[in-house]
Amino acid sequence: MKVIKRSNKMAKSRPEGGWEIRVFHRKAIGKRNPRYLLKCGCCNEQLEIVYGGGSLEINGVMGSVEDWREILLPLLKVHARRAKIQKHRSAIVPQDTNNRRIRQSRVASGRRRGTAG
């Protein structure tokens, strides 16, 4: 599993607003499972995720990986799907700097309108 690496500076802002979550990782040692400790970007509130052995414990709530996937993935896909749709729409319809659609003339033969030829 790839370990997430981030700068853990306090009060680092994100482009979309809010604070960047600080991420700390502990490797598995002996019988201790590996864990991620996620801390708020502006204070010391935290969330502990312990994983390993086909189970996942999030802040003391134990469940299988499949159970957590069923609960959490729909929450994450909603935003990703909206962003993907918005990105797709902006690629299809050209926009000027003020996000207004630009009208394009559709000419099948490639000639300009109103010219003989």
- What per-residue confidence (pLDDT) applies to 7? 79
- In this predicted structure, what is the pLDDT of residue 6? 75
pLDDT value of residue 103:
56
Q: What angle do CA 21, 24, 25 make, to 5 degrees?
A: 140
**The model's pTM:** 0.59
* pLDDT by position in tens, the chain (length 117): 677 777 787 888 888 888 889 999 999 999 999 999 999 999 989 999 999 988 999 999 999 999 999 999 998 887 655 666 566 555 555 555 555 555 555 555 555 555 555
